[in-house]
Structure 1
Amino acid sequence: MPLTHARALLLMVLATLLWSIAGVVTRQLQAAGGFEVTFWRSFFTLAAMAVLLPLLRRRGLAGRVRGAGWPLWVAGLCWSVMFTAFMLALTLTSVANVLVTMALGPLFTALVARVALGHRLAPRTWLAIVLAGAGIAWMYGPQLRLGDGGSGVLAGTLVALCVPAAASVNWTVAQRSHAAGHDIDLVPAVLLGALLSSLYTLPLALPFAATPRDIALLALLGVVQLAIPCVLAVRSARVLAAPEVSLLALLEVIFGIALAWLGAGEQPAPEVLAGGSLVILALVANELLGWRARAG
């Protein structure tokens, strides 16, 4: 079935909805925590991708992987950092804090591209960076006060920042490879990321404490929340424009906070809603203005 623009939009919305269940599902775990949560999710993602990849890349897979060279390994390492940091952050701070912090990815990418590739940043992007920074300060300022569990919030925030940082490096490497005439196949990179994350979190996850119910929930995350939506997003990105993908990806923040609120009773604080709204507004305005400028 050909992937039309409308179908690509629906697939991308579905991908963000599936991504957003991580917080509410994690809050249902009984005994698993920390690195064990990350290990099991990455392990089940690896198993799912091992099944999906041969179906999606039936011909020439081994040759493409061998010919990808070091950019594929860097992309895989970046994915592994994102997989690991995201789950660890969810165990340290609230779902809303993690998702809003992760939403800074496009601005991180713009800054890294400015340094590594020499891309000039438009004034609207600099303004978006300033507004997003103000929103983050608005969110975290009251939470970091002594006696409000500030150390846990700070640790969770620093871990969550690894996600947009790794994503920005991943995008920059992909752009440099594209400019050199060698596009990175993102689906094998996701599999490699799951493999690396599983390997370096396994020793830290022992001894296992997860109950059978925990393992079933983490299998759900590995397959339904990570492997399948990553494939859907990669397919959609072939049809959708980059601003469309960036804007639709922000739905994960809205869906994720709403699901954690309704399904786990994790009500975000007023400053989180206010500061997070400022961050999202800055990102949306930046993408829409950039899209309009390119169209003009």
Structure 2
Amino acid sequence: MTGSVRNAWPTLAIMLGASVWGLVWYPMRMLAGMGLSGTAASATTSAAACVFVLLAKRRSISTLSWHWLLVALGVAAGVTNIGFVWGAIHGQVMRVLLLFYLTPAWTAIFAHFILKERLTRTDAALSLLSLAGAVTMLWSPELGMPLPDGLAEWAGLMGGMGFAMSNVLVVKVTRTLPAMKPEMRTAVIFGGAALIASVVTLFEPMPAPPAAALLPTLSLIVIGLGVVLAGNNMIVQVGLARVPANRASIIMLFELVVTALSSWLFAGEVPGPREWAGGACIVVACVLSAWVHRQGGQRSPPAPEALDIAEHAPESKKKSTRAMV
């Protein structure tokens, strides 16, 4: 392997992960079209991913120990998962994803209260910038208050808050349980997502059950999607181990490009001027957040942290950990 390829492949691995996450909404809609609800699809694919991780990394199971933080992390991952999947199935994908990407605002707030990190003026300004982007995207004279339009967009917003909480909790877990292997935290995230989605499924009106003839195809998609997501997770973790976290958060914005193209090609969704303007504010907030915290990291020696990125996405301070479906 040449030096240039060796230096480039970690970035390519992260871009591959972002591409998978930017396309995953489509097979989830396929499952919904076959009669598997969003929460049921989230539960089954997350369970498949969790089983795959446990089988592939079974030697690390000994590092999995009980702690209430793992329960909290699993619940946050479940909210993240359900919010994104349900919103992407029932709403306009790009708007749901942009609401999901309000992570810098929520992460700064949660980190202040949970990790006892000081909320600086810069953090507050970047949080306000991302929220201003959301207001720009959501506001219209006809609708009045700039609030999410419909349950799908509320689901995307709640999913983003769950993602921010997951980001903060995974840092707390790495500090509290440093002996736990990253892949076991990944298993906790996927397992928590599966359990929470299963519980929510009990309260969701179920569509007509899938036709018997579709069950083999449906099962194949569920298992295949779970394996792809778990394998993609592991590939991205290897890339993230060789790329600074704040630079990685910018690379992960490639997901927005893939999502915009895939939603246009597969669903005929074209963002309007307000979506572009609001999305630009959110993306700028994410990029500036990464740059500001990279500069801060250069001025002060970094604290040793266990690497744990179960999933992706830009976030304001720490490595990200989204369990996606």
TM-score (norm 2): 0.76
After superposition, residues 256-295 of structure 1 pair within 5 angstroms as 256-295=259-298
Q: In structure 2, do the counterparts of structure 1 residues 222 and 142 end up closer, same or farther at CA, with 3 Å as the change threshold?
A: farther
Counterpart position of 1:12: 14
Aligned-pair CA distance for 1:219? 5.2
Q: Does 1:98 align with 2:90?
A: no
Q: Does 1:166 align with 2:166?
A: no
Summarize deviations over 1:233-252 as a string: whole Å, max 9, x none. 33333333221232222221
Q: Does 1:191 align with 2:190?
A: yes
Q: 2:297 is aligned with what amino acid?
A: R
Q: Does 1:182 align with 2:183?
A: no
Structure 1 residues without counterparts, runs of 5 or longer: none
Mapped to 1, the partners of 2:282 and 2:96 lie a distance apart of 13
After superposition, residues 1-296 of structure 1 pair within 5 angstroms as 6-28=8-30, 31-32=33-34, 36-55=37-56, 57-61=57-61, 63-65=62-64, 67-142=65-140, 145=143, 153-182=149-178, 185-203=184-202, 204=204, 206=206, 208-210=208-210, 212=214, 215=218, 221-224=225-228, 226-296=229-299
Aligned-pair CA distance for 1:59? 1.6
Mapped to 2, the partners of 1:223 and 1:179 lie a distance apart of 29
Kept after mapping to 2: 8 A contact 1:49/1:227: yes
Q: Which runs of 4+ in 1 moved over 4 A?
A: 26-30, 216-221
Q: In structure 2, do the counterparts of structure 1 residues 286 and 220 end up closer, same or farther at CA, with 3 Å as the change threshold?
A: same
Aligned-pair CA distance for 1:205? 5.9
Kept after mapping to 2: 8 A contact 1:92/1:153: no
Kept after mapping to 2: 8 A contact 1:11/1:233: yes
Aligned residue for 2:149, secondary structure, equals: helix
Q: 2:39 is aligned with what amino acid?
A: T
Kept after mapping to 1: 8 A contact 2:104/2:130: no
Mapped to 2, the partners of 1:260 and 1:114 lie a distance apart of 35
Mapped to 2, the partners of 1:142 and 1:164 lie a distance apart of 22
Aligned-pair CA distance for 1:187? 1.7
Kept after mapping to 1: 8 A contact 2:100/2:161: no
> Which range is displaced more, 21-30 or 85-94?
21-30
Aligned-pair CA distance for 1:210? 4.0
Q: 1:113 is aligned with what amino acid?
A: A
Aligned-pair CA distance for 1:231? 3.0
Q: 2:191 is aligned with what amino acid?
A: L
Aligned length: 286
Q: Percent identity?
A: 21
Aligned-pair CA distance for 1:27? 5.0
Q: In structure 2, do the counterparts of structure 1 residues 69 and 118 end up closer, same or farther at CA, with 3 Å as the change threshold?
A: closer
Aligned-pair CA distance for 1:284? 0.6
Aligned-pair CA distance for 1:159? 1.4
Kept after mapping to 2: 8 A contact 1:22/1:256: no
Counterpart position of 2:314: none
Mapped to 1, the partners of 2:150 and 2:285 lie a distance apart of 23
Structure scoring higher RCO (CA < 8 A, sep ≥ 6) equals 1
Mapped to 2, the partners of 1:171 and 1:32 lie a distance apart of 33
Kept after mapping to 1: 8 A contact 2:137/2:278: yes
Mapped to 1, the partners of 2:194 and 2:185 lie a distance apart of 14
Q: In structure 2, do the counterparts of structure 1 residues 295 and 59 end up closer, same or farther at CA, with 3 Å as the change threshold?
A: same
Aligned-pair CA distance for 1:45? 3.1
The answer to which structure has the higher helix fraction is 1
Structure 2 residues without counterparts, runs of 5 or longer: 300-325
Aligned-pair CA distance for 1:101? 1.0
Kept after mapping to 1: 8 A contact 2:70/2:173: no
Aligned-pair CA distance for 1:68? 4.2
Kept after mapping to 2: 8 A contact 1:174/1:183: no
RMSD: 3.0
